[in-house]
């Protein structure tokens, strides 16, 4: 897990880092600021108009300038409303677009990261970077910015007007400001902590809820419904308690702020007595400003604290955006072959499918033990390689290296005689069909999933691919056939069915290199036998790497690699390995006996 709290103390420190994402909005931001400023200046002007009305029309007892006054008043209000509307509209646009841009950037960047990033960071963690951090940043550069503009303009403007009219009274009223800032900061710290705790509890409850649903079966079989429900109740009780005390805190805060602004009014009332009786307008003006000054202070403190707290979000998001993949193409390679989003297919050499491991040693980026050491192997195009061995032996690791999901710690993997790193990842991946040990389908229909393999596949090609791996029977069983929905992650299908569909999808892509990692581990024996019979057709014209636990399925491979504790302990054809009477022989005979026994019993 990434450390989330490093380097986050300097306020404003992170803003320059998101500046590139704000660049397209320079004009919009400027318009917002200018309009917000003008709107606020108008707000400052309104009490002055009121003062005029009181002094002129009421105290002066004349209505001579009334039409002009009313026109000016209405114009001012209309103008201020227009300005504020434009500013609000701009803020809304900026918030949404910055949000969208940051999300898109984060999502695209995630596509380029290697597997180890996803191994090291949980889905929940990545999810909140992409969804909630971007949201906080979007609202910072729109609403918090506008709050600062609106309220500091009002505060400064009203102070200037007040000072110009009665400096002594203004200075007295200003004495309240530090008090309010201090009071507010005190409360705000507490409120933030209380809200943070509520959010934490909330996400824990969401997590529990999620586990309660996704793990429903496991919960039932472990008979822990009772415990799960109790944990859940405890959490909800705590969140209720915290919410009530947060609400109390908010109440106390509102009352205190009210008292503080009353204090400002009291000062004006007390000292205002010295203002001449003819200046009733000035008196009202001071009352107006003194009362209106409290809210802006609060908003400004809020906006500043937003800037500070959002530093964490900026820091985490920019760290994600700045994370370099463990597997990257060099600039020269990118120049020639393009990147994932702009491939230069015209420069791609057609891939043949020769694979060679040259003195390869490998350990996982976060592991300290070598999974492979000084491994050499040449796999000419068209050959079928089987990889067998016990759980955790290193079989998947071996094919991950071929696919360049990881790169060798030392040594080279050659594709068509050249180091895989000399050409782009996309070039290699476009030639590989991989049926994963844990198959994944995308939500949508079976047809849509198959078309991910080859968007231009014809109806006949789809049917042929389905038939080849016996997935046609799966499709036939479904209510809407090939147009049936597979659910999120393919969850409406059984694991075996998912394997067959993803197998068909891989075939449809017509890859030069085919990797089957336990591709048929979850299908029944009969279906597996059918696939086995079709295997010759499936692997014809391709280099194939087949990982299998059931050794009877790999007897026909050109070469069998026996992996044990991360080392290739034996290699050869089935006949050779049986004759050698080594590790493979023992594995095979044991499995054979087991299978024979179970078939007799059946």
Ligand X SMILES: Nc1ncnc2c1ncn2[C@@H]1O[C@H](COP(=O)(O)OP(=O)(O)OP(=O)(O)O)[C@@H](O)[C@H]1O
Interacting residues with ligand X (CB under 6 A): 119, 364, 366-367, 371, 389, 391-397, 437
Contact 539, 384 (CB under 8 A): yes
CB of 414 to Mg ion, least distance (A): 23
Query: CA-CA distances (angstroms) from residue 352 to 216, 256, 349, 382, 418?
Result: 48, 77, 9, 9, 12
Separation CA 286–CA 174 (nearest Å): 12
CB of 438 to ligand X, least distance (A): 10
- Binder of residue 408, out of Mg ion, ligand X, none (CB less than 5 to 8 A by kind): none
Residue 293 or 403 with smaller CB distance to ligand X: 403
- Binder of residue 391, out of Mg ion, ligand X, none (CB less than 5 to 8 A by kind): ligand X
**Strand duo 355-362 + 559-564: pairing:** unpaired
CB of 447 to ligand X, least distance (A): 30
Phi first, then psi: give them for residue 46, nearest 5 degrees.
Answer: -55, -50
Contact 148, 155 (CB under 8 A): no
CB of 549 to Mg ion, least distance (A): 10
CB of 433 to Mg ion, least distance (A): 17
CB of 218 to Mg ion, least distance (A): 22
- Binder of residue 457, out of ligand X, Mg ion, none (CB less than 5 to 8 A by kind): none
- Binder of residue 296, out of Mg ion, ligand X, none (CB less than 5 to 8 A by kind): none
Tell how far CA 46 is from the center of its chain. 46
Residue 290 or 401 with smaller CB distance to ligand X: 401
Separation CA 462–CA 267 (nearest Å): 84
Q: Which residues pair with 559 in a beta bridge?
A: 385
- Binder of residue 178, out of ligand X, Mg ion, none (CB less than 5 to 8 A by kind): none
CB of 566 to ligand X, least distance (A): 7
CA atoms within 13 A on the CB side of 250: 10
- Binder of residue 393, out of Mg ion, ligand X, none (CB less than 5 to 8 A by kind): ligand X
Residue 151 or 498 with smaller CB distance to ligand X: 498
Tell how far CA 189 is from the center of its chain. 28
DSSP structural state of residue 349: P
Residue 71 or 120 with smaller CB distance to ligand X: 120
CB of 408 to ligand X, least distance (A): 14
Instruction: Confirm or reject binding of residue 532 to Mg ion (CB under 5 A).
Output: no
Q: Which of 283, 274, 273, 278 is nearest to 51 (CA)?
A: 283
Q: Quick one: which segment of 173-181, 267-275, 390-398, 535-543 binds Mg ion (CB under 5 A)?
A: 390-398
- Binder of residue 364, out of Mg ion, ligand X, none (CB less than 5 to 8 A by kind): ligand X
Residue 366 or 479 with smaller CB distance to ligand X: 366
Q: Determine how many CB atoms are found less than 10 A away from the CB of residue 295.
A: 14
Residue 299 or 503 with smaller CB distance to Mg ion: 503
Tell how far CA 332 is from the center of its chain. 30
CB of 320 to Mg ion, least distance (A): 28
CB of 468 to Mg ion, least distance (A): 24
Separation CA 518–CA 399 (nearest Å): 12
Residue nearest to Mg ion (CB): 396
Residue 354 or 518 with smaller CB distance to Mg ion: 518
Separation CA 421–CA 591 (nearest Å): 40
Q: Quick one: which segment of 25-33, 261-269, 389-397, 576-584 binds Mg ion (CB under 5 A)?
A: 389-397
Residue 344 or 567 with smaller CB distance to ligand X: 567
Q: Which of 41, 30, 33 is nearest to 80 (CA)?
A: 41
Residue 296 or 394 with smaller CB distance to ligand X: 394
Residue 124 or 392 with smaller CB distance to ligand X: 392
Contact 36, 153 (CB under 8 A): yes
**Strand duo 418-419 + 410-415: pairing:** antiparallel
Residue 135 burial (C-beta neighbours within 10 Å; 0-12, 13-18, 19+): middle
Q: Quick one: which segment of 147-155, 175-183, 394-402, 531-539 binds Mg ion (CB under 5 A)?
A: 394-402
Contact 469, 503 (CB under 8 A): yes
- Binder of residue 394, out of ligand X, Mg ion, none (CB less than 5 to 8 A by kind): ligand X
CB of 530 to ligand X, least distance (A): 24
Q: Which of 84, 129, 122 is nearest to 106 (CA)?
A: 129
Separation CA 389–CA 393 (nearest Å): 6
Residue 98 or 387 with smaller CB distance to ligand X: 387
Q: Which of 522, 550, 516, 551 is nearest to 535 (CA)?
A: 516
Compose the 396-435 pattern: x for residues touching Mg ion by CB under 5 A, - for all others.
Answer: x---------------------------------------
User: Where does this chain bind Mg ion (CB under 5 A)?
Assistant: 396
């Amino acid at each position: 897990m990434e450390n989330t709290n490093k380097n986050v103390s300097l306020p404003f420190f992170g803003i320059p880092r998101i500046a590139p994402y704000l660049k397209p909005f320079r004009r919009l931001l400027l318009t917002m600021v200018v309009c917000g400023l003008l709107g606020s200046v108008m707000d400052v002007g309104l009490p002055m108009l009121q003062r005029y009305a009181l002094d002129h029309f009421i105290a002066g007892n004349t209505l001579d300038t009334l039409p002009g006054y009313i026109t000016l008043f209405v114009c001012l209000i209309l103008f201020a409303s227009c300005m504020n509307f434009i500013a609000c509209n701009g803020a809304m646009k900026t918030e949404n677009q910055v949000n969208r841009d940051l999300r898109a950037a984060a999502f695209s960047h995630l596509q380029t990261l290697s597997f180890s990033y996803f191994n090291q960071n949980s889905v929940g963690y990545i999810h909140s970077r992409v969804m909630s951090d971007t949201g906080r940043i979007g609202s910072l550069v729109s609403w918090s910015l506008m709050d600062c503009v609106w309220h500091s303009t009002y505060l400064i403007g009203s102070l200037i007007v007040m000072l110009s009219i009665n400096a002594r009274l203004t200075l007295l009223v200003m004495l309240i400001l530090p008090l309010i800032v201090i009071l507010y900061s005190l409360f705000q710290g507490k409120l933030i902590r209380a809200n943070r705790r509520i959010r934490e509890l909330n996400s824990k409850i969401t997590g529990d809820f999620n586990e309660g649903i996704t793990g429903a079966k496991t919960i039932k079989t472990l008979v822990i419904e009772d415990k799960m429900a109790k944990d859940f109740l405890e959490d909800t009780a705590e969140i209720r308690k915290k919410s009530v005390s947060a609400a109390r805190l908010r109440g106390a805060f509102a009352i205190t702020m009210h008292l503080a602004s009353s204090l400002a009014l009291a000062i004006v009332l007390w000292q205002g007595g010295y203002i001449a009786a003819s200046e009733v307008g000035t008196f009202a003006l001071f009352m107006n400003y003194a009362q209106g000054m409290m809210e802006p202070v609060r908003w400004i403190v809020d906006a500043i604290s937003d800037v500070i707290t959002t530093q964490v979000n900026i820091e985490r998001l920019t760290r994600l955006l700045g994370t370099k993949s463990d597997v990257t193409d060099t600039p020269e390679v990118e120049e020639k072959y393009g990147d994932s989003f702009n491939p230069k297919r015209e420069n791609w050499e057609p891939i043949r499918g020769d694979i060679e491991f040259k003195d390869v040693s490998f350990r996982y980026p976060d592991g300290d033990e070598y999974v492979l050491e000084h491994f050499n192997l040449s796999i000419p195009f068209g050959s079928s390689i089987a990889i067998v061995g016990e759980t955790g032996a290193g079989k998947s690791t071996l094919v991950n290296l071929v696919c360049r999901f990881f790169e060798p710690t030392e040594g080279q993997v050659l594709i068509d005689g050249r180091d895989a790193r000399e050409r782009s990842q996309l070039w290699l991946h476009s030639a590989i069909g991989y049926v994963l040990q844990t198959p994944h389908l995308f939500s949508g229909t079976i047809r849509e999933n198959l078309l991910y393999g080859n968007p231009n596949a014809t109806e006949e090609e789809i049917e042929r691919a389905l038939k080849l791996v016996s997935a046609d029977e799966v499709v036939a069983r479904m209510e809407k056939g090939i147009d049936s929905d597979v659910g999120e992650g393919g969850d409406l299908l059984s694991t075996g069915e998912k394997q067959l569909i993803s197998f068909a999808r891989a075939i449809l892509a017509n890859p030069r290199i085919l990797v089957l990692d336990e591709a048929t581990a979850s299908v029944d024996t009969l279906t597996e036998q059918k696939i086995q019979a079709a295997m010759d057709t499936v692997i014809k014209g391709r280099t194939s790497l087949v990982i299998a636990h059931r050794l009877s399925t790999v007897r026909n491979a050109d070469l069998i690699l026996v992996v044990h504790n991360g080392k290739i302990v034996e290699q050869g054809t089935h006949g050779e390995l049986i004759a050698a009477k080594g590790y493979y022989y023992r594995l095979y005979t044991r499995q054979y006996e087991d299978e024979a026994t179970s078939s007799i019993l059946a």
